A and B are shown apart, each in its own frame.
Chain A
Amino acid sequence: MLVNGNAHKVGAHIDTDAIIPARFLVTTDAEVLGANCMEGLTPGWVGRVKKNDILVAEENFGCGSSREHAPIAILGAGIPVVVAKSFARIFYRNGFNMGLVLLEVGDDIEKLRDGDELEVDTDAGRIRNKTTGVEIICAKVPPFMQELLDAGGLVPYVKKRLADMR
């Protein structure tokens, strides 16, 4: 998948209460959750996001609660990719399971600034910063997780396993 969009950069240790505060967890609807994405960070934040924009974060993105509503809210806001220095582990699994692409780039995160125009090749794990001309190669997804992605995510993966067992 090729994604072209602007970077929205946030800081370190952005927790899931910031991504989607608990008062919005009375629904599982992606559109409602998306409309309130990052409401715990900056009220009205989602207003600046266009479809296919890219979220860029410092270390430990998605720390805190296990709420899957967090990746759903990001997807619901129209953001298909998050690039971070590092991810919190529960969020990392959740992102994959929900079909949100997560790219870990370590210290290269400094090469991406708020507002930069980016092109992300999610299959190759390559980010091109069209504003600065810099290119970043991301850490490879572990083979087992790639297998899950290739199956279309955990839901189809389990569905197939259950069908095979019958």
Chain B
Amino acid sequence: MSHTVAEKILQAHTDEEITGAGQIVNCRVSLVLANDITAPLAIKSFKGMAASKVFDKDKVALVCDHFTPNKDIDSAEQVKGVREFAREMGITHYYEGGNVGVEHALLPELGLVGPRDIVVGADSHTCTYGGLGAFATGMGSTDIAGAMALGETWFKVPPTIRVEYTGTLEPFVGAKDLILHLIGRIGVSGALYRALEFCGPVIDGLSIEGRMTMANMAIEAGGKVGLFPADEKTLAYCAAAGRHGDKPLKADPGAVYEQDISLSVSGMPPQVACPHLPENVRPVDELGDLRLDQVVIGSCTNGRIEDMREAAAILKGRKADKNVRLIVLPATPRIWRQAMDEGLFDIFMDAGAVVGPPTCGPCLGGHMGILAGGERCLATTNRNFRGRMGSLQSEVYLSSPAVAAASAVAGVIFNPAKL
């Protein structure tokens, strides 16, 4: 039978025959992930299950990236508990301190995720690895505890929405704009319980980092996974990350899709999501004069080296507006060093930016850039729910690194093409 990408991956991890959407199957998992917020609950459930060891100490990743470097005593206590559990279980992939990065930027660069893998993570943006052709999805801590103990979990086979992108991208328009545009069109529950499968010439032309930016936000449309085919670019990325034996992956001809969406991107301007939902998407030029207090460039969506370069290309020789706090957070230590070696930090600092350590920090209103009442922030992150970055009376807008950098300079939300 012909399978979608989602069905194909699930089939590779189960002995049951996948016959179509709606079926519930048990699948073996390739990697199980939790972070400093979700691991404490997972450990509680793991003990409640009377589990004495993890199914494979090389296939569990614990990444303390949200409130780290620990923002207060309570978060330090939580991380301490995770650290002790990692030690007790002999977990190979435990990260905090100098080796930690934002989990969804870190695991791909370490070669821990790749095509045909099933990855479950106690973090909703686990779907990022769909950019590499992995069936990767977020779950709660107790589901993750079960997967840590058993090495398998259950899935309802999702119907798939295929999204084809055609046309030619305008300058300063990229992956973030493509995914924001889609969410604007289908809404925050437009892909609820569904798999998104991306294809078309624009997708073929995207870098792996760009594909991960898009897959990252599948959850913002309610999607279970955001899947890309694995092509030569994917294999080259995975080989460079130290993986061996990955093979190309694409949907079978004749696979059944619940819905087909075709989007032409020619002439599409940069996109911005307005408060307080990622579906409130508008072309940047229609926003008028929106003064900014803060701009954040980083996160699991846009904290990779290409994002740093995109921001630096615009900030070079320019200064952030005096009323804007510009915060740049490269997402992993490797990206941090690379940005430093390429001289990007000189550009950021000359522009008046604060360059911080890799952390999820401000994205979820944790620390390192919290908003006061009445403040407005433009961020390259993935969520703009009310109060997400601080006060319930603050506002968060979402954009690409190019728009964020141009807006930091202009002091208002601004189209980089007009700078």
User: Which of B75, B78, B123 interacts with A66 by CB under 8 Å?
Assistant: B123
The answer to whether A26 and B150 have CB atoms under 8 Å apart is no
List residues of A (31-65) whose CB comes within 8 Å of B's CBs: 40, 43, 59-60, 63-65
The answer to whether A13 and B78 have CB atoms under 8 Å apart is no
The answer to whether A155 and B192 have CB atoms under 8 Å apart is no
Q: Quick check: which of B136-144, B206-214, B301-309, B345-353 contacts chain A, the rest being far away?
A: B136-144
The answer to whether B138 and A90 have CB atoms under 8 Å apart is yes
Min CB–CB distance A139 → chain B (angstroms) = 13
Which residues of chain A are near B77, meaning CB under 8 Å? 26
The answer to whether B189 and A13 have CB atoms under 8 Å apart is yes
Encode B266-295 as 1/0 by CB contact (under 8 A) with A: 000000000001000000000000000000
Encode A137-161 as 1/0 by CB contact (under 8 A) with B: 0000010100000000111011101
Which residues of chain A are near B387, meaning CB under 8 Å? 17-18, 21, 40
Query: Given known contacts A60-B188, A66-B124, A155-B48, is B388 in contact with A17 (CB within 8 Å)?
Result: yes
User: Which of A17, A94, A163 interacts with B364 by CB under 8 Å?
Assistant: A17
Interface status of A86 (Cβ within 8 A of chain B)? yes
Which residues of chain B are near A21, meaning CB under 8 Å? 365, 387
Query: Given known contacts A17-B383, A158-B145, A162-B149, is B224 in contact with A26 (CB within 8 Å)?
Result: no
Query: Given known contacts A25-B37, A60-B189, is B50 in contact with A90 (CB within 8 Å)?
Result: no
- Closest residue on chain A to residue B141 by CB atoms: A68
In Å, the complex CA distance between A145 and B38 comes to 23
In Å, the complex CA distance between A13 and B142 comes to 23
The answer to whether B189 and A158 have CB atoms under 8 Å apart is no
Which residues of chain B are near A66, meaning CB under 8 Å? 38, 121-124, 126, 138-141
The answer to whether A17 and B385 have CB atoms under 8 Å apart is yes
Interface status of B72 (Cβ within 8 A of chain A)? yes
Interface status of A93 (Cβ within 8 A of chain B)? yes
Min CB–CB distance B10 → chain A (angstroms) = 15
Given contacts A17-B383, A66-B122, 16 further A-B contacts (CB under 8 A): A17-B385, A18-B387, A65-B138, A66-B38, A66-B124, A66-B139, A68-B41, A88-B189, A89-B224, A90-B139, A94-B140, A155-B45, A155-B142, A158-B145, A158-B150, A161-B150
Identify 16 residue pairs between A and B in the complex whose beta-carbon atoms are under 8 Å apart, listed by A's number: A21-B387, A25-B37, A26-B72, A28-B44, A43-B392, A63-B222, A65-B364, A68-B122, A68-B142, A69-B37, A72-B41, A89-B224, A90-B124, A97-B142, A161-B150, A162-B149
